[in-house]
Amino acid sequence: MKGKEELMLIGGQAVLEGVLMRSRERTAVAVRAESGKVVRKVWRILPLSGRVRVFKLPVFRGVGVLYETLSIGFRALTFSANAAAGKDEKGDDILGKREMFISIAVAIALAVLLFVAVPLFLAKLVTDGGGILFNLVDGIFRMLAFLAYLLFISLFRDVQRLFQYHGAEHMTIHAYEHHDPLLPVKIRKYPTMHPRCGTSFLLIVIMVSIVVFSLVNPAGFFPKLVSRLLLLPVIAGVSYELLRLGARFEKFPLMRLIVVPGLLLQRITTKEPDNSQILVAVAALKAVLRMK
């Protein structure tokens, strides 16, 4: 019988020359340093749901998880950039709260500009109506902007390696969830796509936003823009719940309609890794599982 430790829900993400793995209260990052050595950074996290009761509720918990994912992700990316370049191989904290806040704020501002403001402006040029038609056009422009962004960054060699680590992360989690030994020869049989991937989450966000923005659709460009920004937490929360349902009941036909588009999109954001990259993902996962 498998132990309780092996039943943890594991998520993760790719970082520069490495992989982040996390459970509900534990996080580990493993990075291939310039020297070739695998450097690890581990820490505990206290989820928002453990500090504020409202973040235990459906929809609200998605907002909390999104915030945690952003903050942990930026911390891990900064560590991985330094470790990969050989600047910090001790696992010290190298990102202060001020720097983390500024980084997250800039990333959010750019995302709002590229995926909210610009599509809305283009939709206003095409049709100035309201309701489903306008928001469908707006949603199509958001989808095209998202695809164009992914295709553009995928042209860069460093991003291609990041996508390989993304694939290694997914394959390793698949092996863990199927109770297979965490060895490259066993892990290689699994796909690089995973139904709980953040790429799938972003795609669901775009689809949910079309429906929500159709229900709340004030006249004028700036009222529309403000309403979209205010509704983003609601959309993120609903999308998170749909992603959870899709991953839990992925064999049901209705749920597959939610999961499959995200899996197809992961053909862009995940690539087949080599064994050394898989070993980095394994190192991150084992570091999470060892934390007591």
- Give Dmax (Cα) for the chain: 61
Quick one: pLDDT at residue 292?
Answer: 57
Q: Is the pLDDT of residue 94 over 70?
A: no
> What CA–CA distance (Å, rounded) separates 53 from 184?
41
pLDDT digits (tens, 9 = 90+) for 201-219: 888 888 888 888 888 878 8
Q: What is the pLDDT of residue 14?
A: 93
Q: How far apart are the first and last CA of the chain?
A: 20
List the single range of 6-10, 63-67, 283-287 with lowest mean pLDDT.
6-10
- Sign of the C-alpha dihedral computed for residues 234, 240, 243 and 247 taken in this order: negative
**Taking the model in full, what pTM does it have?**
0.84
Q: Looking at this protein, which amino acid is placed at residue 73? A: G
Distance CA 165, CA 62 (A): 25
- Token readout for 5 is 């430790």
Average pLDDT, the chain: 84
Is 145 a residue whose pLDDT tops 50? yes
* pLDDT surpassing 70 at residue 91: no
CA dist 219 and 258 (Å) reads 31
Whether 200 and 265 have beta carbons less than 8 Å apart is answered as yes
Residues in the chain: 292
Question: Kindly report the CA angle at 49 between 47 and 55, in degrees rounded to 5?
Answer: 135
pLDDT in tens, 237-273: 898 888 777 767 766 776 677 778 888 899 999 999 9
The better pLDDT of the pair 86, 162 is held by 162
Percent with pLDDT over 70 in the chain: 89
Average confidence (pLDDT) over 126-132: 74
Percent of the chain with pLDDT over 90: 32
> Where does the pLDDT of residue 2 fall: very low under 50, low under 70, confident under 90, or very high at 90 and above?
very low
> Which phi and psi (to 5°) does residue 13 adopt?
-160, 160
Which pLDDT belongs to residue 18?
Answer: 94
- pLDDT band, residue 129 (cuts 50/70/90): low
pLDDT at 4: 42
DSSP-based helix, strand, coil % in the chain, nearest 5: 65, 10, 25
Supply the Cα-derived Rg of the chain in whole angstroms. Answer: 20
Q: What is the pLDDT of residue 278?
A: 96
The DSSP symbol for 192 reads S
Strands 38-44, 11-15: pairing is unpaired
How confident is the model at residue 97, as a pLDDT? 59
Residues 171-182 have a mean pLDDT of: 94
Candidates 224, 226, 204, 199; CA nearest to 214 is 224
